[in-house]
Amino acid sequence: HKEILKRFRDPELGRQMAGRVRERLDRLTDRLGRRANVMEFCGTHTAAISRTGIRELLKPHVHLMSGPGCPVCVSDYVDIDRIIALAGMSGAIIATFGDMMKVPGSRTTLLEEKARGADVRVVFSSLDALAIARENPDRAIIFVGAGFETTAPTAAVTVEQAVREGRDNFFLYSLHKITPPAMMALLPDPDLQVDGILLPGHVSLITGRGYWDFLSRDLGLPGVVAGFEPLELLSAVDALASLLLEERYAVINAYGRAVREEGNPSALDAMARCFDLQEGHWRGLGIVPASALKLKPELAPWDAEVRFPLEKRSAAPPKGCLCGEILKGKKTPFDCPLFASGCEPARPVGPCMVSHEGTCATYYRYERFT
């Protein structure tokens, strides 16, 4: 495995490939009369493109814009506030991923509530939360799952395992979402002028390449499924530039070592067995129809939102925070007056500075001095 990764990080090959990509992108610039706008939808790509220096390297040749593909960042204040309220429920244990701890609700965070005595625990997977439920049969364990198609299948099989065990103290608060409805809501925006998409590699492991054909069919946009190593990212941008130069608006797979055409059918089956699609609240995008994965009615006894119904109160974003516009690709962290000046990873104002996949956190780490 190390040897394979070494190949995808070879500096000499990288230099050669970068030269070819730049030359192709410049031909595209001549054709379009401006730099092409390419959106990387996925937060892991945002971090990888900045960390490897590719955003800076290609800046004169292509505008690599960051999209809403960070599941923690797109979780709405309404949901965060409700989860914080559940943390205050007597006897409840909230189990969630580390990134969720510092996401600000309208008044406080899970981390602050933990400091005040709430039982909030960081877990690495939904199965860890189920183990906590086994160890604490007299308490309600609420697993807050935030993620796209990549992590939703694990949450689904965990709920199925809880059902099999007859475990009545384990509940899922599903913030899981699927990505295509958000793309359909965002990409046609004429202000963005998106020319092509770098498609999320991890989501595609589950969904397969074919999942994205709607981009060319319904939006007339080319897309390339991309890996995360430097040469994989360069070759994905190169493939996208080629498609645009050829005016071929297709979706192709440049992450063939991991992604198959049909994805992972057993993971997709688990999602289909457990979840229905409902309208979802996305920070920045608002309500997106049929985008949220919520447990099916027959699984209501394990659904935290059904078992512990709370009022949905609308909440305003923190003053001055531009996360909503950044998630839409309309602004960058540099446009935010609070960036690195009142908002930083140790004291985040908005969720884009919390998650290690958030655009503001990425720009803080890698782009601040470029």
3-class DSSP state of 68: strand
How far apart are CB 176 and ligand SF4 at their closest, in Å? 23
Regarding 350 and contact with ligand SF4 (CB under 6 A), the answer is yes
* CB closer to ligand SF4 out of 267 and 352: 352
Which residue has 């070759």 as its token pair?
235
Interface size with ligand SF4, residues (CB under 6 A): 15
| Residue range at the interface with ligand SF4 (CB under 6 A); choices 135-143, 181-189, 211-219, 352-360 | 352-360
Interface pick for ligand SF4 out of 38, 155, 159, 349 (rule CB under 6 A): 349
How far apart are CB 137 and ligand SF4 at their closest, in Å? 40
* CB closer to ligand SF4 out of 70 and 159: 70
Regarding 343 and contact with ligand SF4 (CB under 6 A), the answer is yes
Regarding 275 and contact with ligand SF4 (CB under 6 A), the answer is no
* CB closer to ligand SF4 out of 222 and 333: 333
Interface pick for ligand SF4 out of 231, 336, 357, 366 (rule CB under 6 A): 336
* CB closer to ligand SF4 out of 276 and 335: 335
Contacts of 116 (CB under 8 A, 6+ apart): none
Q: Which of 163, 171, 113 lies closest to 305 in space, CA to CA?
A: 171
CB burial of 290-302 (b: ≥16 within 10 Å; e: otherwise) equals ebbbbbeeebeeb
* CB closer to ligand SF4 out of 64 and 224: 64
Which residue has 């992604």 as its token pair?
259
Question: Which residue lies nearest ligand SF4, judged by its C-beta?
Answer: 350
List, in sequence order, every residue forming a beta bridge with 223; answer none if it has no partner: 197, 251
How far apart are CB 178 and ligand SF4 at their closest, in Å? 24
| Residue range at the interface with ligand SF4 (CB under 6 A); choices 21-29, 36-44, 108-116, 345-353 | 345-353
Q: Which long-range contacts (CB under 8 A, 24 or more apart) does 240-244 make?
A: 240/38, 240/196, 240/197, 240/198, 241/21, 241/24, 241/25, 241/27, 241/28, 241/36, 241/62, 242/24, 243/196, 244/28, 244/31, 244/36, 244/195, 244/196
DSSP per-residue codes, 2-55: HHHHHHHT-HHHHHHHHHHHHHHHHHHHHHHTS-EEEEEEEHHHHHHHHHTTHH
Which of positions 233-262 make contact with ligand SF4 (CB under 6 A)? none
CA 72 to centroid of chain Cα atoms? 7
How far apart are CB 98 and ligand SF4 at their closest, in Å? 17
CA distance 192 to 65: 9
Give the type of residue at 180: P
* CB closer to ligand SF4 out of 132 and 349: 349
Contacts of 124 (CB under 8 A, 6+ apart): 97
Which of positions 315-334 make contact with ligand SF4 (CB under 6 A)? 321-323, 326, 333
User: 239 with 246: CB under 8 angstroms?
Assistant: no
Regarding 352 and contact with ligand SF4 (CB under 6 A), the answer is yes
Regarding 338 and contact with ligand SF4 (CB under 6 A), the answer is yes
Kind and range of the H or E run holding 184: helix 180-186
Interface pick for ligand SF4 out of 360, 362, 366, 367 (rule CB under 6 A): 360
Regarding 339 and contact with ligand SF4 (CB under 6 A), the answer is yes
* CB closer to ligand SF4 out of 129 and 352: 352
Which residues of the chain form contacts with ligand SF4 (CB under 6 A)? 321-323, 326, 333, 336, 338-339, 343, 348-350, 352-353, 360
